[in-house]
C-alpha cells in the first residue's frame, strides 16, 4: 500500500484518479483550495474502498505556502500527482493580465513551486514518484489557446527536466498528456467524441504509467500521432491555419 | 449545455439546457441563478417528470457521506445510483429497504417518485425508511426535513416529483441480510382469478410480483406467473454459495444496440414472446435460490432494452385500484386484450396500506403495462383513465407522459394540500417540469 497525494483534488480528473488509487488499496491524500468541497469525496473514498483518506488545504497560487503545506503532511506521500490546472479563456486573457496571470501561474508557476518542494524531499530520501498532468495543448501554440498552451509547454519542459534530474536520485517522473477530456473544465465546449477521453480513462493511464515507470504517456494513443503531425507542419504554413 | 433528452419511455423527446454540479456551494448558487428548472436524476422515470427547458442533473453529485455498518444507516448525496450503493452495502450484510425494478436510479429519484418495490405490502415505500434529508429550496436556502422536522416539506417531497426543491442529502435505514441470495418461488396461475387468489394465499411473503400475459383470451385470460421471494439465510445456500454468502453479482451485461423498427413489436411477436415465457415455466411451481440481480432486476441485464420499442417510444401505464375493485383490473385487462395492444410487460403487484399526501401507493392492486406509442393510443388511454377513476384508483406520475389534470385531481384526494405546500416552498413556480405544467401543478 502506498500513500498517494493528489494536488488539485476537486477536479473531475482528480476524483477519477483518487478513486482508481483507492480501489487498488492505496491511502489517499486529497489537497485543494476548498476543503469543504473535498469532505464528501473524502467520506466517499474512505467508505467505498475501505481505505484511509485525508484532506489538506492547498492553494496552487499561494507559492509561499507550499513548503509549509508539504512539511505539515502527517504522512509523506510515496506518489505525488499534480492534477490542478486552469483552462481560462484565451480571449479574456489577451485583454486582461489578471486572467493571463491566473492561467500561467496555475498551470506553470504553481506546479513548479510545489513540485520543487516535493522533488527535493524525494531526492533526499532517494525514492518517490511524481506524475504531472500536462496537456497536448503545450506541444504547439495555436491561436485559440496559446496562453494556456504556453503555460502547459513550460510545465511539460519542466517535467522532462525534472525526470532527467530525478533519474539520478532514484525518483521517477511521469508526464501525462491528455487530449480532450470530458470534465467540468470542458463542459461548455463541443468536443469530438472519438478524440475525447473520460476522466476514468485518464485515471487508468496515470495508474498504469506510474506502475510501469513510463516517461511520457498519451491518454488516447493517437494523440501522439496527431501531435506529431501538427508539430511537423512547417511554421510558414502553420501560421496561416485557423487552429 | 443544450441537448435532446428523453426519459426511459423515449417519449417525449425534448431540447433542454442541462447543468451539472459536484459541490454543495455550486448547487445552491445554480438553484439561485437558474430562471426555472427541474431536478433530474438518471432519467429512469418513463415520461416527462424530469424533463423541462432547463434541468439540473445530479449525476455528478454522488458521494457517500456516511455508512453506519453496525446499525445499517446510510447517508449520501442525491445523485448516487442504487447500483453503486449495493456494491458497498451488500458485502457488509445490508440491503436497500425498498428497490424498484431497476437499480439504475438515483437516490433523489427514489425519493422524488417515492418508489415502491415488490415488498410494498410489508415494508411500504422508500420514504418510510428515510431518517432525514436536505432540500435546497427555490431561493437557495437549505432545509433539513424529516417526518418530524418541517413535516409538510418532507411529505410533499416524497413522491412530489421534484417540485418542492432539489433533494441534496438523504439519510436512510437499510435492511439486514445474511446472504446476497434470494429464495425464490415461482407459481404458474391459469387466469386472473387464480393469480389474485394466489396473491391472497401467499401474502405473508416479503416479496411478490406477477407477470401477466395480457393477450391471452378466453379461459386463460390473465394467465400469469407469480414470483415470490425471501432473503435467503445461510442455511438455504449450497456449499459453493456458502463460501461467500454476501458476494456481489459478476458483471455481465448486454446492450440493446439500436431502436427496433416499431413493426417488430406487433401483436404477433408479443404473443410469441408470451408463449415462450409462459411455456418455459411448464412446471406448476419452481423453487430455487438465485442471486439478487435476476430476482430484483431481470431487465437490467439488457441495458437499453427500451430501444426495443422503436423510435416513437412507449408509454408505461401504471395504475392502482383499491383491494375491493378487482373488477376494475379485469375490465382494463379485458379492454387491452380486446384492443390487441401488444405489451411485453404487464406486471401486477399488491400494495399494502399507505397514508400519503402525493405518493402513488395505496392499498390495492397495481398493474403496469408497456405500450408502444402509436396513433389512437392516447385516446384509448383516456378511456382507461376513466375506468381507473370509476373504481377509485389513480395513476403513477412517475410513469406518466399524457394524463389530463382532471385525472390527477380525481385520483389524489389531497392534491390541493400538496399544491399549497409546493407554493409555500417554491412560490414562483421556479422549479417546474413539462409534466408539472401539463398537470397544472406549477402554472399560476
Ligand atoms: C425498468 C424500470 C423499472 C422500474 N420499476 C419501478 C418499480 O418497481 N417501482 C417504482 O416505484 N418505480 C419503478 N420505476 C420508476 C423509477 O424507479 C422512478 O421513475 C425513479 O424516480 C427514477 O429515478 P431517476 O434517478 O432516474 O430520476 P428521474 O427519472 O430523472 O426523475 C424522477 C423524478 O424524481 C425527481 N428527482 C430526481 N432527482 C431529484 C432530486 N435530487 N431532488 C428532487 N427531485 C428529484 C425528478 O424531478 C422527477 O420528478 C422503474 C423504472 C424502470 C426504467
The ipTM of this complex is: 0.91
Residue B137 to residues B32, B58, B63, B140, B422, Cα–Cα distance (Å): 9, 15, 21, 5, 10
- Quick check: B283 pLDDT over 80? no
pLDDT interval class at B263 (50, 70, 90): low
Per mean pLDDT, which range of A80-84, A135-139, B237-241, B341-345 is the poorest? B341-345
Q: Does the pLDDT value for residue B110 go beyond 60?
A: yes
User: Percent of chain B scored above 70 by pLDDT?
Assistant: 95
- Over 90: is that where the pLDDT of B278 sits? no
For residue B254, pLDDT over 80 is answered with no
Residue B266 pLDDT more than 70? no
What is the distance in A from the centroid of ligand 1 to the CA of B105? 6
Closest CA to B433 of B41, B30, B21, B27: B41
pLDDT, tens digit, 9 for 90 and up, residues B415-430? 999 999 999 999 999 9
Is the pLDDT at B359 greater than 90, yes or no? yes
Nearest to A42 by CA among A55, A57, A59: A55
Task: Write out pLDDT tens, residues B71-98.
Answer: 999 999 999 999 999 999 999 999 999 9
User: CA-CA distance, B426 to B149, in Å (whole number)?
Assistant: 18
- CB contact burial B208-239 (16+ within 10 A = b; e otherwise): bbbbbbbbbeeeebbbbbbbbbbbbeeebbee
- Please state the separation of Cα B407 from the chain's center in Å: 20
Q: Please, are residues A72 and A122 in contact by the beta-carbon 8 Å criterion? A: no
Mean pLDDT computed over every residue of chain B = 93
Is 70 exceeded by the pLDDT of residue B280?
no
**SS3 letters for B242-299?**
HCCCCCCCCCCCEECCCCCCHHHHCHHHHHHHHHHHHHHCCCCEEEEEEEHHHHHCHH
Residue A48 has its nearest CB partner, among B24, B64, B77, at B64
pLDDT of residue B250: 85
pLDDT band with cut points at 50, 70 and 90 for residue B309: confident
Indicate the pTM of the whole model.
0.94
pLDDT at residue A81 is higher than 60: yes
- Closest atom of ligand 1 relative to the B39 alpha carbon: 47
Looking at residue B313, what is its pLDDT? 92
- The alpha-carbon gap from A84 to the nearest alpha carbon of chain B, in Å, equals 16
Nearest-CB residue to B88 (from A12, A47, A188): A47
Q: In a mutational test of the pocket of ligand 1, which residue from B80, B101, B128 has the highest number of ligand atoms less than 8 Å from its CB?
A: B101
Q: Which residues of B touch A187 (CB under 8 A)?
A: 1, 20
Our CA dihedral for B421, B423, B426, B428, rounded to 10 degrees, sits at 180
Average pLDDT score over chain A: 95
- C-alpha B154 – ligand 1 centre gap (Å): 17
Do the Cβ atoms of A135 and A152 come closer than 8 Å? Answer: yes
For ligand 1, atom 43: residue with the closest CA? B162
pLDDT at B298: 86
The answer to whether the beta carbons of residues B334 and B285 sit under 8 Å apart is no
What does the block give as the cell for B435?
409534466
Q: Are A77 and A29 contacting, i.e. CB atoms less than 8 angstroms apart?
A: yes
The yes-or-no answer on residue A158 being catalytic is no
Atom from ligand 1 closest to the CA of residue B349: 8
- Report pLDDT for B377: 94
> Per the residue annotation, which of A49, A86, A108, A148 is the catalytic one?
A148
State yes or no: cis peptide before B12, omega within 30 of 0.
Answer: yes
pLDDT of residue B220: 85
A87 closest CA partner among A6, A140, A133, A145? A145
| CA B421 – CA B415 distance, rounded (Å) | 10
- 3-state DSSP assignment of residue B339: helix
Q: Which of residues 161-200 of A touch B (CB under 8 A)?
A: 184, 187-188
Average confidence (pLDDT) over B121-131: 98
pLDDT for res A193: 84
Amino acid at each position: 500500500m502506498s500513500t498517494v497525494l493528489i494536488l488539485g483534488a476537486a477536479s473531475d480528473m482528480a476524483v477519477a484518479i483518487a478513486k482508481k488509487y483507492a480501489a487498488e488499496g492505496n491511502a489517499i491524500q486529497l489537497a485543494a483550495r476548498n476543503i469543504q468541497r473535498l469532505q464528501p469525496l473524502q467520506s466517499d473514498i474512505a467508505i467505498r474502498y475501505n481505505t484511509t483518506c485525508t484532506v489538506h488545504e492547498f492553494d496552487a497560487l499561494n507559492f509561499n505556502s507550499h513548503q509549509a503545506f508539504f512539511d505539515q503532511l502527517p504522512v509523506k506521500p510515496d506518489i505525488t500527482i499534480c492534477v490542478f490546472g486552469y483552462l481560462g479563456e484565451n480571449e479574456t486573457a489577451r485583454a486582461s493580465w489578471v486572467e493571463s496571470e491566473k492561467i500561467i501561474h496555475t498551470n506553470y508557476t504553481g506546479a513548479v513551486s510545489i513540485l520543487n518542494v516535493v522533488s527535493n524531499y524525494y531526492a533526499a530520501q532517494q525514492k518517490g514518484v511524481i506524475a504531472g498532468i500536462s496537456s497536448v495543448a503545450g506541444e504547439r501554440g495555436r491561436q485559440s489557446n496559446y496562453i494556456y498552451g504556453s503555460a502547459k509547454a513550460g510545465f511539460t519542459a519542466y517535467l522532462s527536466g525534472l525526470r532527467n534530474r530525478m533519474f539520478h536520485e532514484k525518483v521517477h517522473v511521469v508526464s501525462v498528456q491528455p487530449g480532450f477530456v470530458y470534465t467540468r473544465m470542458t463542459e461548455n465546449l463541443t468536443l469530438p467524441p472519438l478524440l475525447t477521453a473520460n476522466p476514468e480513462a485518464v485515471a487508468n493511464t496515470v495508474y498504469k504509467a506510474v506502475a510501469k515507470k513510463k516517461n511520457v504517456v498519451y491518454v488516447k494513443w493517437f494523440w501522439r500521432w496527431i501531435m506529431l503531425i501538427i508539430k511537423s507542419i512547417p511554421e510558414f504554413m502553420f501560421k496561416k491555419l485557423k487552429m | 449545455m443544450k441537448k435532446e433528452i428523453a426519459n426511459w419511455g423515449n417519449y417525449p423527446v425534448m431540447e433542454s439546457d442541462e447543468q451539472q454540479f459536484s459541490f454543495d456551494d455550486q448547487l445552491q448558487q445554480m438553484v439561485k441563478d437558474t430562471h426555472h428548472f427541474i431536478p433530474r436524476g438518471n432519467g429512469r422515470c418513463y415520461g416527462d417528470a424530469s424533463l423541462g427547458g432547463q434541468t439540473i442533473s445530479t449525476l455528478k453529485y454522488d458521494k457517500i457521506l456516511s455508512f453506519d455498518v453496525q446499525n445499517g444507516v446510510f447517508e449520501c448525496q442525491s445523485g448516487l445510483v442504487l447500483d453503486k450503493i449495493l456494491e458497498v452495502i451488500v458485502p457488509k450484510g445490508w440491503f436497500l429497504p425498498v428497490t424498484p425494478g431497476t437499480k439504475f436510479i438515483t437516490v433523489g429519484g427514489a425519493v422524488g417518485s417515492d418508489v415502491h418495490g415488490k415488498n410494498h405490502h410489508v415494508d411500504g415505500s422508500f420514504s418510510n425508511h428515510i431518517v432525514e434529508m436536505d432540500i435546497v429550496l427555490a431561493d437557495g436556502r437549505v432545509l433539513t426535513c424529516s417526518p418530524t422536522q418541517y413535516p409538510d416539506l418532507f411529505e410533499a417531497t416524497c413522491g412530489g416529483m421534484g417540485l418542492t426543491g432539489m433533494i441534496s442529502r438523504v439519510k436512510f435505514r437499510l435492511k439486514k441480510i445474511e446472504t446476497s441470495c434470494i429464495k425464490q418461488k415461482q407459481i404458474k396461475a391459469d387466469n386472473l382469478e387464480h393469480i389474485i387468489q394466489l396473491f391472497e394465499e401467499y401474502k405473508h411473503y416479503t416479496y411478490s410480483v406477477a407477470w401477466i400475459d395480457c393477450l391471452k383470451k378466453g379461459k386463460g385470460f390473465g394467465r400469469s406467473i407469480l414470483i415470490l421471494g425471501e432473503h435467503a439465510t445461510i442455511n438455504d445456500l449450497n456449499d459453493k454459495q456458502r463460501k461467500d454468502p454476501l458476494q456481489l453479482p459478476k458483471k455481465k451485461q448486454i446492450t440493446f444496440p439500436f431502436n427496433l423498427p416499431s413493426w417488430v413489436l406487433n401483436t404477433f411477436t408479443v404473443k410469441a414472446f408470451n408463449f415462450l415465457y409462459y411455456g418455459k415455466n411448464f412446471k406448476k411451481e419452481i423453487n430455487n435460490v438465485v442471486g439478487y440481480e435476476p430476482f430484483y432486476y431481470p431487465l437490467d441485464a439488457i441495458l437499453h432494452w427500451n430501444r426495443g420499442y422503436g423510435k416513437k417510444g412507449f408509454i408505461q401505464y401504471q395504475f392502482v385500484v383499491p383491494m375491493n375493485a378487482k373488477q376494475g383490473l379485469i375490465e382494463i385487462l379485458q379492454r387491452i386484450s380486446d384492443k390487441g395492444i401488444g405489451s411485453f410487460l404487464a406486471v401486477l403487484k399488491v400494495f399494502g396500506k399507505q397514508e400519503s399526501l402525493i405518493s402513488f401507493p395505496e392499498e390495492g392492486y397495481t398493474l403496469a403495462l408497456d405500450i408502444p406509442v402509436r396513433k389512437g393510443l392516447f385516446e384509448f388511454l383516456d378511456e382507461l383513465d376513466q375506468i381507473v377513476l370509476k373504481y377509485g384508483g389513480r395513476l403513477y406520475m412517475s410513469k406518466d407522459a399524457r394524463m389530463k389534470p382532471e385525472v390527477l385531481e380525481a385520483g389524489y384526494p389531497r392534491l390541493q394540500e400538496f399544491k399549497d405546500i409546493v407554493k409555500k416552498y417554491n412560490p414562483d413556480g421556479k422549479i417546474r417540469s413539462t409534466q408539472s405544467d401539463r398537470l397544472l401543478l406549477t402554472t399560476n
